[in-house]
Structure 1
């Protein structure tokens, strides 16, 4: 049988794409078949593309073999535009370059950069990019531009279309055009003069049709991402400008955006915010119309159902529960470059609304802790619905826009449709200043009648928005698959045909993301709806948005938290259906490594998850369920003989360090690497930053009376592991920590039998929760005794240990401190610090971040040295207990950007976990050690 076109493409791709970046196994193609929408299409192949040259060759091959392809950045798309059942081209690590123009007036960004990172690069210049989608800390520039994503403040004036300066774009035939480079434009004129001529003619024809041109201009006076950016044809005459502006919002159906240069906008440093409560929607919307001419940056509308959805959440105003059924709220923010201007703006806004009735008096606040709490109300709406929905239901968030004067009527009509179709409890909120509202419904598509109900609801919503208000069916989320069948309804036949003409001009074979934006199937939005099988209460609330992914250390190696949950859901679905046993077996076998073994279980995913899901906890539970009796017996034995295990480990480390000294790094690495390979990777992987044997501090010989006591708990890792060979710091961490605390004037007390104590973290990470909790209880009892029943502060030298004991602590009087907070809050002021002219790096561990201590860690380092580096794109190091030894590829993947992020003058790094520091040293080429060493090196006793 001759090979299919897809098989031929796959064969040709193997000639220049490494096998690791050609993904075709059932688990990962399933995982990449999910974006943040209600759709699932499983690709035949996922290709991680790392360079422009690779993308160019892939597009040429796709054209030759007539195989459709879809581009994907972060996959946070809400309308189904980032999934395909053909070939998915996933952006790899090679798309994250950026450069800032003169005076930071522009910034050039490759499509793989997270939007929030772009703003971080611009922050020192008090500038930012214009688009500000709610997903900005997860979505990537390619998706922001390709969807013309906006947000709460950018409106229609600062979106990608309006702030675009130039673009590097790749067409369906692989041709690259840089519109900001004169030589590239000249070459393109020579090779694609026909395309440019046809674009110019389309523009002339459209502008000459005054009725059509007028309609296009009117449609883009409000937010609109439904269909193509036809305003390019009336706003510009230069065919290059038409081309690049058509790419904005084209969702990968016309070409690939390889780089975009934005004109940046001001980032105002002074802000004031207020929550206004109105008696009804009509009054709130009348206030919006008044605010439209005022110096406001954001006006967010929330209906009564929205406020009800969050009224029981911690920190919400108590009066929410007492509001009338018709009440509505506006969250209003004004921004300025100085406090005087801000104060004047607040007074102007208040005066403009003086005659508008409110249920409660309102007052602006410029205190960050207060306006952050106000924004938490707005930001909590979507998560509250997602977490409260019934298990198995799908979260669908839609967005529409109408002219502001019609906002109140449209909102009431939408509420009526909720009632008519049985979507009671659905909420309405959104960017009222732009007439842009979001609404959230949670259908259960497992029920046979649900698809028909959803169909009827969407039909009524679309006809209401178009027929009654001539509004936008998609204001900022992109057309995708969900609104593609309704594009003609909104735009009319003439404009719809013009869009098809544009599509065919750029993509004559319709190979770029087919079915998205334009789709002849009137029921395309009802097909390929993804199942949401129940798995476990720990993860059932997942809405598959992808917000968790930037923090995940395994995201580029195996699976992200979202993808782990997708895999669990599919296995549960297949088990319940009792079919596809071969597929179930293949996914289950792959999941053991892809899902369980390579999860760092660092809990960072929960910090950015809208519904607070900790996928790591789920993976630990699954590990525990899979541990057999042998593993339990071994765990019990180790727990009971922990002191002996530590002694043996210390002996092995000393022996390894001796052989390293004798044989050298090259020979030692070769021998141990071969041994690991022969063992089937069962032996731990040795590296040249492996620690020497640890040591404990000696008792004080010259004790000074009447000093404050502190109980110091050295972790099992720091007791076992000393400095690496070659590290200029020769003392083990417990020795150094005790010396520093004594230098600061403390009497240092160690718990009795410290050698046998452990917080339980190593057991928990292995899926042995009973043994882990038993060891933690031992620690608590020892600390109670050592601290005189809680009279004395207790300091942990390793942050993961602190977190585990703190978060599981029973009701005891223990005063527990991580070394980070104790140094920052207590020790520094008891020492004389000599600031050194050095550059050092710091690494906040995942436990630091979970406890919110990263700012204190940085402040400690900044007290000691002139310059502190927090490397970009580094979160959890992926060492994950002992996985740096057993699964070193996880650590390597998590820290793949570390070395390049450190300047040459940065010669050392500091953290708060000895095991993490091994991996950090290995992948940076610099010695990382505890922050204790830096403070000790830069301090003297405070003689005052």
Structure 2
């Protein structure tokens, strides 16, 4: 599709919508041309940092009327290029829309602007009796970005992913109007849920400006059990038994000694547990000590047949627990630091099929000749699988990566899984989408995209190609 190239007249007109010149950036720097992986670079022609809904309305309408591509951007922690301005145009940088608009404990909700970071939400609620449960590892990600990708995080086993915690959204559509989707009310059986359509749409249907979050009473007690196993395979095979035991853990994470070794080099630190080569981290929260002890006993009894070694049980606020969770949350950065280039697949499969995926990863490491470290959310079947370039040439890395990605998507599809559990499709994987989900389904999504964005100016070239190939 041919887009209008921003000219001096557009600059003048768009500048009139923004009161502060420092939020209108006509000469973007490299800060705006990449995401967390830095594998693809695309420089916007213009960066605008709105602070009000009105500014967003005016900018989006102008872009639509003049067929200028516009890409919402959070804190750029994404991995699939969803925030890249691959067609040029406007990068709508939302990070200055970062206010808490309302904290309402009586309705168990909190309303924030889309550019606020998770860590800022956590700090705001730190001394309050309620908390926002989703816990993606990237604490400096914005809530708008989390909503746009339906981020999962570490507590999805018990509390669900981002979608389950969003009561209401305010979204600017391409006609320049601000819409309210959802409500503070808990239930709705009232027509189509457009709110849930926007969640996970990666900025392709509208620009999210405000988010009303569901809050939970903060659990009074929490505990972690780190269970070592002789192998990672032993660890993974124990997970269905934990979930079938009657325990509803907050988290069930897996990681192996190989990625822990990378973290030790990255952090210049030592992992507290020296035995075992595969680990399951089980987090449990409750309101009484008796509940905690009962659930922990059930979980530890369930894993005994799987060669589980002696669990290390830690209070959630203990220094050792904080170090272990710090390790888990920094694994992506540790792997990234270990190699010149890196790509990722975050397929999601039924939990009983995680061993099948990891077996295929081991096979591909040998078949292709590539290091493929991994870890993930054992309790919900979401695996984070990383493709490392190491000493390969760019051409060799591209060829081998395409092979691995293709094979892992074949594996996920055969197991009735999904392409992505939480990182999204973005720009990096749009050409894989139709082959995974089929033409009929993709054409249905194209019709939805065309209804919301007939000029295809909102984050073009993301999720799936607009044209039927």
TM-score by length of 1: 0.46
**Unaligned 5+ residue runs, structure 2?**
none
Shift, 1:304, TM fit: 4.0
Structure 1 gap segments, 5+ residues each: 183-234, 524-944
Q: Say what the alpha-carbon RMSD is for the aligned residues.
A: 2.6
Match of 2:262 among 309, 316, 334: 309
Shift of 1:446: 5.8
Give the 3 Å change call, closer, same or farther, for CA 65–380 of structure 1 in structure 2.
closer
Match of 1:927 in 2: none
Cα pair distance change 1:116/1:64, threshold 3 Å: same
> Corresponding residue for 1:328?
278
Q: Deviations over 1:773-824 (max 9, x none)?
A: xxxxxxxxxxxxxxxxxxxxxxxxxxxxxxxxxxxxxxxxxxxxxxxxxxxx
Match in the other structure for 1:254: 205
2:333 matches 1:383: yes
Corresponding residue of 1:442: 388
For the structure 1 residues 317 and 19, does the alpha-carbon distance in structure 2 shift closer, same or farther, using more than 3 Å as the test?
A: closer
Q: 1:135 aligns with which of 135, 138, 147?
A: 138
Q: Would you tell me which structure has more helix in proportion to its own residues?
A: 1
Report the equivalent of 2:305: 355
In the other structure, the counterpart of 1:172 is 174
Q: CA deviation at 1:394?
A: 1.7
Q: Distance in 2 between matches of 1:455 and 1:440?
A: 13
Measured in 2, the distance between the counterparts of 1:165 and 1:43 equals 33
Higher strand proportion (structure 1 or 2): 2
Matches of 2:457 and 2:92, distance apart in 1: 13
Q: How big is each residue's C-alpha offset from its partner over 1:265-294, in whole Å with a ceiling of 9 and x where there is no partner?
A: 233242222221223344222210011232
Task: Give the Cα separation in 2 of the matches to 1:59 and 1:9.
Answer: 13
Q: 1:361 to 1:19 in 2, by over 3 A?
A: closer
* 1:311 and 1:317 in contact (8 A); partners too: no
Alpha-carbon distance between aligned partners in 1 of 2:363 and 2:182, rounded to the nearest angstrom: 50
Q: 1:65 to 1:521 in 2, by over 3 A?
A: closer
SS at match of 1:88: strand
Name the structure 2 match of 1:433: 379
Task: Determine the C-alpha separation between the residues in 1 that align with 2:129 and 2:272.
Answer: 33
Q: 1:343 aligns with which of 293, 300, 307?
A: 293
Give secondary structure in 2 for the equivalent of 1:433: coil
Contact kept, 8 Å, 2:95 with 2:116, in 1: the verdict is: no
* Structure 1 residue 522 displacement after superposition: 11
Equivalents in 2 of 1:419, 1:14: separation in Å?
55
Higher relative CO (Cα under 8 Å, sequence separation at least 6) belongs to 2
Q: In the alignment, is residue 36 of structure 1 matched against residue 36 of structure 2?
A: yes
Q: Return the alpha-carbon distance in structure 1 between the equivalents of residues 287 and 120 of structure 2.
A: 22
Conserved 8 A contact 1:104-1:127: no
Aligned length: 454
Cα displacement (A) at 1:386:
2.6
Q: CA deviation at 1:81?
A: 0.6
State how far apart, in whole Å, the 2-side matches of 1:330 and 1:269 are: 23
CA contact (8 A) 1:485 1:521 kept: no
| Equivalent residue runs for 1:72-91 within 5 Å | 72-84=73-85, 85-91=88-94
1:492 aligns with 2:441: no
The alpha-carbon distance between structure 1 residues 370 and 106, as it changes in their structure 2 partners (threshold 3 A), is: same
Does structure 1 residue 412 correspond to structure 2 residue 363?
no
Structure 2 counterparts to residues 906-917 of structure 1, below 5 A: none
1:37-85 CA-to-partner distances (Å, cap 9, x unmatched) read 3221111111121211111111111111111100112111111011102
CA distance, structure 2, for counterparts of residue 88 and residue 365 of structure 1: 44
**Which position in structure 2 is the counterpart of 1:147?**
149
**Number of the residue aligned with 1:19:** 21
Distance across 1 between alignment mates of 2:459 and 2:298: 48
Name the residue aligned to 2:60: 59
What SS is found at the alignment partner of 1:413?
helix
Cα distance, 1:140 vs structure 2: 0.9
> In 1, are the aligned partners of 2:98 and 2:117 still within 8 Å (CA)?
no
Cα deviation, 1:808-861, whole Å, max 9, x if unaligned, reads xxxxxxxxxxxxxxxxxxxxxxxxxxxxxxxxxxxxxxxxxxxxxxxxxxxxxx
Quick one: distance in 1 between partners of 2:455 and 2:188?
27
2:226 maps to 1:275: yes
- State the shift of 1:98 in Å: 2.4
Q: Does 1:365 align with 2:320?
A: no
On the 8 A contact 1:309/1:384 being kept in 2, the answer is yes
* In 2, Cα distance between equivalents of 1:236 and 1:451: 47
CA spacing shift, 1:369–1:496, aligned 2, 3 Å: same
Contact 2:387 2:401 in 1 (8 A): no
Change in CA separation of 1:380 and 1:117 when aligned onto 2, cut-off 3 Å: closer
**Distance (whole Å) between structure 2 residues aligned to residue 353 and residue 175 of structure 1:** 54
